[in-house]
Amino acid sequence: MYVPKDKELRAEIIQLHYDVLAVRHGERWKMMELVIRNYWWLGVTKDIGKYMDRCDMCQRMKNWMETPEGKLMTNKIPEKP
C-alpha cells in the first residue's frame, strides 16, 4: 500500500512496526522488512534509518567495535628548536 506524503502518518507506521517484540531495538533490516511488507513510500529506508538512529535505547545498547584509545598524554617539551 502506498503511503501519501504525510510525516505523522509515516512516523506512526514506523513506530507501530518498531514496537513489535521481534524487532524492538534490534536489526535495521528486520524492521525494514516488516514495514515494506505492507507499506511503501519514496525514501522508506531512509526514514526508517533516521528513526532508529534517533532511538535513545538503540544508541545506548550499540556495540562499539573499536577499542578505547587510552588516556591522553601530554606532549614532551622539545629541548632544541
Distance CA(6)–CA(13), nearest Å, equals 11
- With 0.75 as the threshold, say if the pTM is over it: no
pLDDT tens string 67-80: 777 788 888 888 88
505492507: which residue's cell? 38
Long-range CB pairs of 41-45 (<8 Å, 24+ gap) are 41/2, 41/3, 41/4, 41/5, 41/10
Residue 12 lies in a domain: yes
pLDDT tens string 45-65: 999 889 888 888 777 777 777
Residue 77 lies in a domain: no
Distance CA(26)–CA(13), nearest Å, equals 17
Mean pLDDT score of the chain: 83
524487532: which residue's cell? 23
Residue 68 lies in a domain: no
Supply the range of the domain harboring residue 27. 7-61
Number of domains the chain contains? 1
